[in-house]
């Protein structure tokens, strides 16, 4: 069993019924995810130009 998230750590993230560690996340999400406060309430991180990316690689103009 993987260890639980410590305070201020980035991973794991629960998203879409799954626990995501860095190695489970889409490359682009992992590259942009640098702090939990940057996530929107749906778990996306802002890339640019109104586009957000989610742990599974889904993008959305959120």
Partner 1 sequence: MKTNKSINRYIPEKVSDYIKQSDYKNKEHLIIICDMIYRVNNYKKQDIDYSNQFTDIPQNYFKDIITNPRYIKSAKDFLIDKGIIECDNIYSKIGGKALGYRFNNDYLSKLVKVVVKKPTITKKIIKNVNEKNNAVNDKYKKYKEYFLNNFSIDYKKAIKYLDNNLFKSLEYISPSYTSSLCGVNLEQKIKIINKYNHHFMAVSAINDGELFFRHNKTNGRIDTNLTNLKSELKQFISPKGLVQLDIVNSQPYFLSLLIPSLCGVNLEQDIIKFIDVTRKGKFYEFFQQQYNLQTGQFIDRKGIKDIMFCIFYSKNTSYKKEKRIFKMLFPNVLKIIENQKKNKHNQLAIQMQITESKMCIDTICQELDRNNIEYFTIHDAWLVDDKNINETKKIIQDCFDKEYKSIPKIDITNVNKK
Residues found near partner 1 in the complex (CB under 8 A): 3-7, 9, 13-18, 27-28, 30-32, 34-43, 46-51, 53, 59, 61-62
- Residue 22 CB, shortest distance to partner 1, in Å, is 10
Work out whether strand 18-20 and strand 51-53 pair parallel, antiparallel, or are unpaired. unpaired
CA 31 to chain centre: 10
- Residue 48 CB, shortest distance to partner 1, in Å, is 5
The 3-state DSSP class for residue 62 equals: coil
- Residue 23 CB, shortest distance to partner 1, in Å, is 11
For residue 20, the cross-strand partners are 13
């Amino acid at each position: 069993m993987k260890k639980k998230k410590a305070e201020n750590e980035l991973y794991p993230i629960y998203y879409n019924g799954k626990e995501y560690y860095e190695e489970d996340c889409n490359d682009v999400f992992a590259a942009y995810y640098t702090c939990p406060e940057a996530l929107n309430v749906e778990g996306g991180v802002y890339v640019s130009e109104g586009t957000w990316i989610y742990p599974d690689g889904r993008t959305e103009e959120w």
